[in-house]
Amino acid sequence: MRPALKLLSAAVIAATASSAPGLQAGAQDAMTGDEIIAMVNARPDGVQVTRNFTLELTNRQGDTRREETHAYRRYFGEEKRTIIFYTEPTRVRGTGFLTFDYPDPSIDDDQWLYLPALRKVRRISASDRGDFFLGTDFTYEEIKKEQKVEASDYVFTAKGTEMVDGRELLVVEGVPSTDAVARELGVSRVVWRVDPEMQLSRKTVYYDQNGNLARTVTIEGVEIIDGFITTTQLLAENHKTGHSSRISFSGTDYEADVPESLFSQARLRRGL
């Protein structure tokens, strides 16, 4: 995805500004679906960041297992690179995931997965981006995008506002822009409920290709860290399986050194 700040048209900038406290509430209602999603994608997220995240995976019976990871992300111009290393427990230690998110949406992003048991790096095809990420209820696409949206994947329609947990959120519906995108992402439509102050979708609901309710992703925690709006906890619930996945972020540091050498297949194999 192109860095959102460079995509902002004058209209979108004006619309984003309208979300500031003190402006007329009706101004937000006038935003189009494209403008609301552009606002989400315009959320600054720093040139680089390091952080830990804990995964809690809970099955229908209520059994939970935990996994620990450490992640690095850095922009190189308009290109975003991310690498995640699993550190605990032993059965997953050494597993890694590397992504190159290119600014040109016509170019498939590169994604690689390293599984220590196989001792090889496997490329994740762009057509698999809607698959679930390593036993979680988040997709590869969601892990890569970090609560932003590939705008070229959808046709957006604004659906007014809705009160969620005492906040007035902007509702946007997206339908896949092509049949191929629908197959890749495994959805027929997605509904975002966007907090205009945080430029985040507080609650996102996914419907499968048959139109059935599939998953809900809810942001449970958000903070300002080093001046950046930062999600600290989010939950994905799979309505078909009863399984859920919670990610809790910690140790987030936007000023830490993130060397370019981290983002390679060789480093993916070698681990931390």
Whether the Cβ atoms of residue 156 and residue 136 lie closer than 8 Å to each other: no
Compute the C-alpha angle 177/178/184, nearest 5°: 105
Is 227's pLDDT higher than 90?
A: yes
Query: Torsion angle of alpha carbons 158, 164, 166, 169, nearest 10°?
Result: -20
pLDDT tens digit sequence for 23-56: 344 556 689 999 999 999 999 999 999 999 999 9
Copy the structure tokens of residue 8.
């902002």
Whether the Cβ atoms of residue 261 and residue 267 lie closer than 8 Å to each other: yes
Domains and CATH numbers, the chain: 33-270 (2.50.20.10)
- This prediction has a pTM of 0.87
pLDDT tens digit sequence for 195-204: 999 999 999 9
Is 168's pLDDT higher than 60?
A: yes
Q: How many residues does the chain have?
A: 272
Percent pLDDT > 70 in the chain is 89
